[in-house]
Amino acid sequence: MTAVTQPTLYDMGLRAKKAARVLRSLPTDRKAAALRAIAAELRARSTDILSANARDVLAAEAAGLPAHMVDRLRLSEKSLLAIAADVEAVAALPDPLGEQTEEKTLPSGIRVSQRRVPLGVLGVIYESRPNVTVDTAVLALMSGNAVILRGGKETVHSNAALEEAVRSALSAQELPADAVQVIRDPARERMLELLRLDDCVDAIIPRGGAGLHRFCVENATVPVIVGGIGVVHLYLDSSFVQTPADISSAAQIVLNAKTQKPSACNALDTLLLARAALPVLPDVLRPLAEAGVDLRADPESLAVLTEAGLAAQAAATEDFGTEFLALTASVRVVEGLEEALDFIAEHGGHTDVILTRDDAQASRFVQDVDSAAVMVNASPRFNDGGQLGLGAEVAISTQKLHARGPMGLRELTTTKWVVLGEGQVRG
């Protein structure tokens, strides 16, 4: 890996702003070609990238980083090839830029429309996931944005190697390498500078825990798109568990929701159970218990689980409203849909699920729950850009302004008005 002396954050911002001017008018085929070149460069540099990643992993383990963060950090030849394949998949996505609303001619004679355009320069701050470096870079490029990336100190070597691969591919395509820049200095002061670089940066997108999001919101002068944090609920209605097959289906959905990727932001945190469904709770949760999930149950559910011989412990107040990001789940009995809706209104906002055979209940749940994603009879793990047909995502926004839910290419754009006249003046 080449040793480099980085410019100041302000210089990086100016360079990104200049690169963004080139990208915003770049034809789709040239952006797609650049992404394919990036994928090829990742494959060609796999030995160097994996060697840099191995240094980060060893340092993280020596520093006592939690196992789930080390797992997020680690790359393999297989995962690197998958990242390259994902880059090519983004290159094949429809380009949202240039989309235009139907032109209208107004009484004044002017013709007006709205056209979709890039945000400009993105600042993305994240932790422990080197794949985010590539995912974010290519989504930014394909949507016509430049990006400044700030990963965690645990990924410094991995991110530097990935940045070199991306920038080399861009240069080979005669595109500005400064469209993708990685802050290699892990000092918090550099992150603060990025958060306040409002002369150059148009939006900050944090990816990480609640602490990172709070830090960004409290310290930024650049607009922050908040997301990726929040409690995931699943409400199990008694109508869904009337037959052995339905009980088995509920158990599989709950198991997938919690264990398919426990560290993901869309993994199950709290199971809300209608009181009428309490007798089948052991059958629903037995696969979770067998998978080693730490079950924290309220008094009613704890009594039923204990009688059935399933390991569980009494839930504390803080176990409800907590995003666990681990093999831990809380369980709470509610009288029915109304109490579940009240509970989710207090604690939800990210992804919330109902399992029911009652269409009226499903409709009420979808209408009432105010979350980034609401699901009926499906795992919350589907709240993901790739799974929802966006191809990929830079983050899952849980705020309401500009974008909400998985942020793919279209969510990294905005609009501008285009007005065509023939000499009109306003009277």
Whether residues 224 and 272 fall in one domain? no
Ranges of residues in the chain whose predicted pLDDT is under 50: none
pLDDT at 50: 98
Whether residues 163 and 260 fall in one domain? no
pLDDT at 208: 77
Q: Which of 270, 265, 263, 231 is nearest to 349 (CA)?
A: 231
pLDDT at 137: 96
Whether residues 316 and 403 fall in one domain? no
Predicted TM-score (pTM) of this structure: 0.83
Place of tokens 């996931």: 129
Whether residues 217 and 279 fall in one domain? no
- Identify residue 279 by its one-letter amino acid code: P
Torsional sign, CA 28, 141, 73, 128: negative
CB 424 within 8 A of CB 108: yes
For residue 212, tell me if it sits in a domain.
yes
Between the alpha carbon of residue 361 and those of residues 116, 120, 245, the distances in Å are: 38, 43, 21
Distance CA 229, CA 208 (A): 8
Whether residues 350 and 377 fall in one domain? yes
pLDDT at 4: 54
What lies within 8 Å, CB to CB, of 58 at 6+ separation is: none
Whether residues 88 and 130 fall in one domain? yes
Strands 373-376 and 396-397: unpaired
pLDDT at 228: 63
- Identify residue 112 by its one-letter amino acid code: V
pLDDT at 211: 82
Q: Which of 233, 240, 243 is nearest to 352 (CA)?
A: 233
What lies within 8 Å, CB to CB, of 92 at 6+ separation is: 32, 391
Q: How far is CA 410 from the centre of its chain?
A: 14
- CATH code for position 297: 3.40.309.10
Distance CA 19, CA 174 (A): 12
pLDDT at 322: 92
Distance CA 54, CA 73 (A): 9
Structural domain of 206: 10-101+113-228+395-417
Whether residues 404 and 366 fall in one domain? no
Whether residues 221 and 359 fall in one domain? no
Which run of H or E residues covers position 147? strand 146-150
For residue 388, tell me if it sits in a domain.
no
Whether residues 138 and 163 fall in one domain? yes
Place of tokens 């196992």: 67
What's the domain count of the chain?
2
pLDDT at 174: 97
Tokens of 159: 């991110």
pLDDT at 400: 73
Tokens of 313: 């412990």
Whether residues 87 and 157 fall in one domain? yes
pLDDT at 369: 94
